[in-house]
Structure 1
């Protein structure tokens, strides 16, 4: 018990000094969104008690998949820190479990689990008393399943087959969460299956409603998960095996060709990149195919463009994941590292995207102009934005050969990686908007527009990234080596702003994607396909003359929010 309390105090001390500046603002925004979701879950206990089990199932999936997608989860206290103390695995796992309850995410989940107390109070005092330990045990199940999932994926990433399998599974689960409206719509027609309440996420609810065996089942499950995590922690200490199989030497006649060969070799060797590629592919296919449950195939042709957007988001910190290897580029005069990385990224992603788009569009019979216009525009935009965002918003990463027992953790700043990925999602979608609008209005002319805009974005953004790399290369290398950004730059751009303007900028950057992407671009695609009165897309509920104007207004609002945020953080000349 003393070890557990000590680890909890260590976690509190670390977080007290860590949440400052931009990281504090990111945590505050995430906490605000989490509280809203928790309030919605508690509301289900009052208004729709039959849906509460499904709500907790979604929370469980979020706990299991969120850390996998966001760089390995919270590892403020790593198991490696205590390897020299000689603690038994079970004791170490128990201490880390207690420390894991300290943080924003557990607190938000605890608020959501108050729905169990509401359900108990509606049945009587005894049920309410049973709901209290059920809340604690259910939260422990959430946390432990998250830890076990991350540990299992970490072990899987030590083999190519495991990396591919985990990428496919995680992409499918995240796509299901992204298309949760499809399942809610299906549940609205047929009702939530009664089996959902018997999932581990619903055992606390069963206990609060009078099934006392569920409370004992939760306790047993916590012990089993704790033992499994202890065993996985013991295996985590083992080093990953390296292949002794010979490799063909790389040959290249130019510096750019050498970079392309090096990047392609990395895409084939690095298991984390294998995981990211299969994750994006699985996400694109499952996200586009989910509406088939409702008998609607209108989204299936867009599997390829969705894959491109997600693949770009996964590569948004391209230079950061390479660690300090940037010194090789800086010491090679005349090497065009950016152009080589662009060609290599296109060589790895474009064939998959083209095949996926052609096959899915052929199944549904189109719409060919819109799909091809989006494909070419997004490929070019992503090829330009991947190096540009990486050099301007670089998040210091861990050298690949120094990655810890959790291969998913390629950086110490999970919030920075997540924000960079969301920024990439929004920017890549914006690069495809002009070609999509031309295709909707003029048909096949949109394909030409997509080729032109894609080529311009790839060339122009790549040029900006190349100039940035040449002018700020030593500074970027220092950031990756030390893990700290220059204080003057950070303060002048954001932390030096007044509190009100800083808050406005964070809200603009944090919520600008909502009107821009779902209510704007996605709603316009739905209207063009004749998909009306669906889910929360406002434009689909408008009269025929207002559907496209409403979608365009939301796109303008999203762009205005991002523009306002950029204008606020733009440095002002000193008087």
Structure 2
């Protein structure tokens, strides 16, 4: 009994020990970068607390969505302590869930979220000092709700990915919500045009679980102690219900998924590349995780491009195709890593068929959908745009070339598909490297569209052919480099897949991230994290707004300046973003071994 009572404390100690001994290398850089971004967001939340309760309620709604959907991009979230580790201890599900919950409070993300929730105390002080008495328990209950919602969402998504309907539905929901968060400026402008947060929206924000703590504080500030107690009681009850739901889902997670017994036609092919294509297409159709990823990329592209319709602007609709291609490439970045140790099957059949077959299969899966999106939405928006058509062709070729190339040069050891356990979102033990690879592929594929964009900018429709040409060149050339790398370094890649240890760097080769000095690792992490901010939101997007004569200024710095300074500032932002990415590439090159 004494041992059982110490389970939460023991798990918290285990979590602290693991974190203390893993703060090194790339993971430390990513945690530091995420901590800086989190502190900035927490500061913005506290600033909203000083402005108005409506802004604070909206901020906490965004924090809740971040806790729920953030784990989708990070391999199922923080799973330093996994339920599978404790299945042989015979702990009751609720005690196991309670212990894991206490362990989940140990980390950078909960600490930063608690700092953001200090806005409840600020709101209490602004109304009545007595309300602070309610704000303190509300902070911790609200944090418990955020953490438990994250855990339950991951568990539910894991169950959903055991069926095709669930995988598709989860992809649509995740893509729509993440696209809405990415296009938050649209809704901010719409609210500004409506005169701010309407009373109906204000009430709705407080009915959400993220607003119950604020509702309790505001009720206490006005002397309505009954309503304050009711709101706190609702938070406590929700914590208990979520804990019970998580305990029930843990028992489902440690079980095994039932395999499909439906028959399949045998794979037939007349050539080696055709066999690889058939095998890859079969995997795309059978692997529910890939189904979820592809659906997510499609939903994200459609909803991201359709968000400006809220303002009556349809000029972004045709961009759904290129955005879908970018997200599909990012989702499939670790193409060879997800094979796990089955990579040996590729290595015992040497030749050029494997890379070319995977490229063709990726194009067959992504290409028709991207082209259909581009043509259909272009027709809705008033006709085809040479820039969109050229970029669609260029990005398809660039994605088909970049994905296998990055996968063999920066392979992240993946978990064998049959050993993914109860969390199918976790492909690898190194979630930080996987996330970094996805962002790198996103940026690199976007850069492959630069020549086509420049050609269309200069020559109009005549430059659209450049998109097709560059796409074909990237497809062929980058695929050739991937073939050579796979042929020359195949055994080393298999060793990395089996052991997780990278072989020593080649003389004259680029220095790995973990081998860089600590200062350079921090600089490189900052460059790759923040390079996208000036390049895309402050450079490329306002340039598209000016070209398409969109009147909204939103939060784009250049559009708030006099006309004479707008294009120079846009050019400066683009160069700054490219410069940050260039510095991130130059640092490991400068430290290469002689």
Q: Which residue of 2 aligns with 1:103?
A: 107
Contact 1:440/1:528, CA 8 A, preserved across alignment? no
Query: Distance between the aligned counterparts of 2:62 and 2:73, measured in 1?
Result: 16
Q: Please, which of 260, 272, 278 is the counterpart of residue 289 of structure 2?
A: 272
CA-to-aligned-CA distance 1:239-296 (integer Å, 9 cap, x gap)? 1111112211111122111111100000000000000010000000000001111111
Q: How much has 1:185 moved relative to structure 2?
A: 1.4
SS in 2 for 1:444: helix
Q: Which residue of 1 aligns with 2:528?
A: 509
SS in 1 for 2:336: helix
Query: Distance between the aligned counterparts of 2:563 and 2:394, measured in 1?
Result: 28
Contact 2:510/2:591, CA 8 A, preserved across alignment? no
CA-to-aligned-CA distance 1:475-500 (integer Å, 9 cap, x gap)? 11111111233365799433443333
Q: How much has 1:388 moved relative to structure 2?
A: 1.0
1:144 maps onto 2:153 in alignment: no
CA-to-aligned-CA distance 1:77-130 (integer Å, 9 cap, x gap)? 111111011111111110000000011111111111010011111222321011
Contact 2:350/2:487, CA 8 A, preserved across alignment? no
1:55 maps onto 2:62 in alignment: no
CA-to-aligned-CA distance 1:103-158 (integer Å, 9 cap, x gap)? 11111111110100111112223210111110000000000000011100100000
Q: How much has 1:48 moved relative to structure 2?
A: 3.4
Q: Which residue of 2 aligns with 1:403?
A: 420
Contact 1:5/1:95, CA 8 A, preserved across alignment? yes
Give the TM-score normalised by the residue count of structure 2. Answer: 0.94
Q: How much has 1:552 moved relative to structure 2?
A: 2.8
Contact 1:53/1:202, CA 8 A, preserved across alignment? yes
Q: Which residue of 1 aligns with 2:379?
A: 362
Q: Which runs of 5+ in 1 are unaligned?
A: none
- Select between 448-457 and 539-548 the one with higher mean Cα deviation: 539-548
RMSD: 1.7
1:461 maps onto 2:478 in alignment: yes
- Select between 408-417 and 497-506 the one with higher mean Cα deviation: 497-506
Q: Which residue of 2 aligns with 1:4?
A: 8
SS in 2 for 1:251: coil
Q: Please, which of 29, 51, 66 is the counterpart of residue 25 of structure 1?
A: 29
Q: Which residue of 2 aligns with 1:475?
A: 492
Query: Distance between the aligned counterparts of 2:523 and 2:48, measured in 1?
Result: 31
- Select between 240-249 and 338-347 the one with higher mean Cα deviation: 240-249
Query: Distance between the aligned counterparts of 1:270 and 1:468, measured in 2?
Result: 27
CA-to-aligned-CA distance 1:316-347 (integer Å, 9 cap, x gap)? 11111111111011100224211111000000
Q: How much has 1:430 moved relative to structure 2?
A: 1.2
Q: Which residue of 2 aligns with 1:538?
A: 557
Contact 2:510/2:592, CA 8 A, preserved across alignment? no
Query: Distance between the aligned counterparts of 1:574 and 1:108, measured in 2?
Result: 39
Q: Which residue of 1 aligns with 2:223?
A: none
Contact 1:433/1:521, CA 8 A, preserved across alignment? no
| Matches for 1:482-493 after TM superposition, within 5 Å | 482-486=499-503, 492-493=511-512
Q: How much has 1:504 moved relative to structure 2?
A: 2.2
Contact 1:89/1:233, CA 8 A, preserved across alignment? yes
Query: Distance between the aligned counterparts of 2:121 and 2:285, measured in 1?
Result: 51
1:562 maps onto 2:581 in alignment: yes
CA-to-aligned-CA distance 1:416-469 (integer Å, 9 cap, x gap)? 111111111111111112212322332112310111111111111111111111
Give the TM-score normalised by the residue count of structure 1. Answer: 0.97
Query: Distance between the aligned counterparts of 1:37 and 1:501, measured in 2?
Result: 25
Contact 1:524/1:539, CA 8 A, preserved across alignment? no
Query: Distance between the aligned counterparts of 1:263 and 1:206, measured in 2?
Result: 52
Query: Distance between the aligned counterparts of 2:58 and 2:178, measured in 1?
Result: 16
1:205 maps onto 2:205 in alignment: no
Contact 1:53/1:201, CA 8 A, preserved across alignment? yes
Q: Which runs of 5+ in 2 are unaligned?
A: 221-226
Query: Distance between the aligned counterparts of 2:386 and 2:153, measured in 1?
Result: 42
Instruction: Decide whether aligned partners of structure 1 residues 371 and 573 sit closer, same or farther in structure 2, where only a CA change above 3 A counts.
Output: closer
Q: Please, which of 126, 132, 145 is the counterpart of residue 128 of structure 1?
A: 132
1:350 maps onto 2:367 in alignment: yes
SS in 1 for 2:80: coil
Instruction: Decide whether aligned partners of structure 1 residues 50 and 487 sit closer, same or farther in structure 2, where only a CA change above 3 A counts.
Output: farther
Q: Which residue of 2 aligns with 1:316?
A: 333
Contact 1:426/1:517, CA 8 A, preserved across alignment? no
Equivalent pairs counted in the alignment come to 575
Query: Distance between the aligned counterparts of 2:161 and 2:555, measured in 1?
Result: 37
